[in-house]
Amino acid sequence: MRQAEIALFIAKRMLSALPLLLGVVVVNFLLIQLAPGDPITVLVGDNPVSEEYLNQIRAEFGLDKPVWEQLWIYVVQILHGNLGTSYSRHQPVTELLLDRAGNTLKLTLTAILLATVVGGLLGVLAARFRGRPIDAGTQTVTLLGFSVPEFWLGQILILLFAVNLQWLPSGGAYSIRTGDAGFFATLNYLILPAVALSFRYVALISRMTRASLLEVSNADFVTAARARGLSDGGILRRHTLKNAAPPVITVIGYNFGFILGGSVMIETVFSWPGIGRLLYESIGSRDYPVLIGILLVISVTVVIANLITDIVHMLIDPRVGQKA
Amino acid sequence: MTDNSSDSTLALATVEREGLRPPRNRFVEAWSGLSRSKIAVASLVFIILVLLMGAFAPLLQTNDPFAGGKDALLPPLSGEHLLGTDHLGRDIWSQLVNGARVSLMVGFSVAAAATVIGIIVGALAGFYGGWIDSLLMRITEFFQTLPRLVLALIIVALFGSSVTMLIGVIAILSWPQTARVVRTGFMSLRSVAFVDAARVSGMPRTAIIFREILPNVLASVVVIASLDVGAAILTEASLSFFGLGDPNLVSWGGMLQQAQQYLAQAWWMAVFPGVAIALIVLAFNILGDGLNDALNPRLKERA
């Protein structure tokens, strides 16, 4: 029974993601159509090619056909993993993105992990010692997290820890001398950008954890546990945390898009060779196919992240499925 | 006559029970609520000061913010250069006061535009319900899914970076939250007695929307608008940091872009504009929280 419900929920939720994906593709298509210059240049790049090849491309992308048909052909190309060719690098966009995706994931996932641990801890402490200095301190950190531009925080971290103290490198993902020497060699390079990127999410997660814990702490089962004589710490460990977790997990998942956006800024500040840095370089060289390819990949990632968040949320919090 | 008065008594009773009051004295009330929070008042004062700084930038600047000189990379307090100079010898203080203009102009314009769009979408969805609501909410959801910053970066990169363009793009991506809050408010008020009373008395729909329902959801709208100003200032700074600001204007984000290459030599190029952005955004966030506590007192105990 329960399993059938879960399957139905997942199926419904996946269906509802389809229009969003289609919308994302249409936005990309419109941007290509409206972008300055000939769409053919957007697809092939600036490099001189034969008239024959141009005709072949025109036919392949149906540029002589009506707009609706062109959109369909664009969708088919995307499903084949073809996102066009970079102007400045003369390489397929898909290849460029795959090269960089690993670094972006490494940075964003580290930041999320860091934010979850630090933010969760601060939130628990703030809720446990409500109204005390540690609560006030956490709320100050929260306000700052929402206000300080993350890229500027990155610059300040470079100023402090790379320029002045010289503890950590100011940018890049590995030393040019040694090359990419595995995860631990990268760690030094990862610390500053991950801290800068995580700050806003430390704020978000600590605020959410605190609010969620305080809400649960008024629930009947907590009162009952208290009546049974459980200690505050015991109640927190055994009851409240488990029940306060779903909203916190949801907020992490729904904000994945913002973390990717933040990653674009942070990668630029730290010359971190990920998709964000590629975006920055491509804006400089007006490399439209790469820009639009990046937008597509990030938008689709966000839709999928939201989908997974909903499903996970449903699995850990049975109330969700019943509402739908 | 009797019917009318009993209707309005009923409406009044509902109003009292639900804690909804007619929009009279709302500003007085909001101010008295807000003035209880010292830090919110301080934020408001700070915002007004920065507004004045932007307004009187031509008088406050000690140099032409675009004029370079041979005194490049001077540290703060060197002679006439209060906050030092950048790599081209331009005066940081003069750039800073002029940058306030861009930040606030973008912040307020975006918040205003996003509020108007959000109110229209939310009011239509919440008031009419049905398929209009489903359609508008799908669109709202779609806009919330789009990765805001990345989309803004790419649109501005493709179509040019005038300040109007920046405002338009950021506003188009900023309205969904307002729409959602307005919709929820409209749905819960659609069938409240004083709205029914207005409907029965033959008041036209637009009047019901704007005179009866809207004033009661404005409190939440104002709170979001205040947070929107801060968010828009951050987005503009991010775009300018990418070199996508208006090339004819000095902006704090643009100053930080210049600072990036000189982090090792000139900390002051990065520190002052960054502090300026952080403080103004902080002020709008604190003001938003303060307004929330003052205007939606029932939500306070939850925070």
**Tally of CB atoms within 10 A around A93:** 25
CB-based contact, B301 to chain A, within 8 Å? no
How far out from the chain centre does Cα B25 lie?
24
pLDDT of residue A61: 64
Q: How distant is the Cα of B135 from the closest Cα of chain A, in angstroms?
A: 12
pLDDT of residue B50: 94
The two tokens of residue A283 are 């804006």
Q: Output B234 or B11, whichever has higher pLDDT.
A: B234
How many domains does chain B contain in total? 1
Q: Does the pLDDT of residue B231 top 90, yes or no?
A: yes
Q: Does the pLDDT of residue B77 top 90, yes or no?
A: no
Distance CA B138, CA B144 (A): 10
* CB–CB contact A156 B274 (8 Å): yes
Q: Which of A146, A152, A261 sits opposite B150 (nearest CB)?
A: A261
Return per-residue pLDDT of chain A as tens, 324 residues.
578 888 888 888 888 888 889 999 998 888 888 877 666 666 666 666 777 877 777 776 667 777 788 888 888 888 888 888 887 788 889 999 998 998 999 999 999 999 999 999 999 899 888 888 988 999 899 999 999 999 999 999 999 988 888 788 777 776 666 666 666 677 888 889 999 999 999 999 999 888 888 888 777 777 777 778 777 777 777 777 777 788 888 888 888 888 998 999 999 999 999 999 999 988 888 888 888 899 999 999 999 998 998 888 888 876 665 543
Enclosing domain of residue B298: 26-62+80-302
Q: Does the pLDDT of residue B200 top 80, yes or no?
A: yes
Which residues of chain A does B42 touch, with a Cβ-Cβ cutoff of 8 Å?
A: none
Closest-CA residue to A307 (of A18, A13, A3, A108): A13
Backbone φ and ψ for B250, nearest 5 degrees, come out as -85, 130
pLDDT of residue A84: 81
Distance CA A96, CA A293 (A): 10
CB-count exposure of residue B32 (10 Å: 0-12, 13-18, 19+): exposed
Distance CA B96, CA B88 (A): 15
The two tokens of residue A166 are 């010289």
pLDDT of residue A215: 82
pLDDT of residue B1: 37
Q: What is the ipTM of this complex?
A: 0.85
CA distances, A94 to each of A29, A296, B121, B285 (Å): 16, 11, 37, 40
CA atoms in the 13 A half-sphere facing the CB of A192: 30
Task: Say how many Å lie between the first and final Cα of chain A, rounded.
Answer: 15
The residue whose two tokens read 């996932």 is A109
Kindly report, residue by residue over B141-197, the tens digit of the pLDDT.
Answer: 899 888 889 999 999 988 888 899 999 999 999 999 999 999 998 888 887 878 888
B10 within domain boundaries: no
Backbone φ and ψ for A197, nearest 5 degrees, come out as -70, -30
CB-based contact, B30 to chain A, within 8 Å? no
Question: Which chain A residue shows the shortest CA-CA distance from B156?
Answer: A283
pTM recorded for the entire structure: 0.86
Which range has highest mean pLDDT (A67-76, A160-169, B3-12, B241-250)? B241-250
* B91 three-state secondary structure: strand
pLDDT of residue B14: 46
CATH fold of A93-323 reads: MetI-like fold (1.10.3720)
B75 within domain boundaries: no
Distance CA B1, CA B3 (A): 5
* CB–CB contact A151 B241 (8 Å): yes
B293 within domain boundaries: yes
Contact of B57 with B100, CB cutoff 8 Å:
yes
CB-based contact, B248 to chain A, within 8 Å? no
Mean pLDDT of all residues in B212-220? 85
* CB–CB contact A156 B256 (8 Å): no
The H or E element spanning position A319 is helix A319-323
Closest-CA residue to A266 (of A86, A110, A87, A34): A110
CATH of the domain at B132: 1.10.3720.10
Mean pLDDT of all residues in B203-231? 87
Q: How distant is the Cα of B198 from the closest Cα of chain A, in angstroms?
A: 34
* CB–CB contact A156 B286 (8 Å): no
* CB–CB contact B159 A156 (8 Å): no
Kindly report, residue by residue over B257-273, the tens digit of the pLDDT.
Answer: 998 988 888 899 999 99
The two tokens of residue A68 are 């609706």
Kindly report, residue by residue over B97-109, the tens digit of the pLDDT.
Answer: 999 999 999 999 9
Mean pLDDT of chain B: 84
Which residues of chain A does B243 touch, with a Cβ-Cβ cutoff of 8 Å?
A: 283-284
* CB–CB contact A35 B158 (8 Å): yes
pLDDT of residue B95: 92
pLDDT of residue B15: 47
Query: What are the residues whose beta carbons fall under 8 Å from the beta carbon of B63, sequence distance 6 or more?
Result: B80, B81, B90, B91, B94
- DSSP secondary structure letters along B171-183: HHTT-HHHHHHHH
Taking the domains of chain A in order of start, what are their residue ranges? 93-323
B12 within domain boundaries: no
B177 within domain boundaries: yes
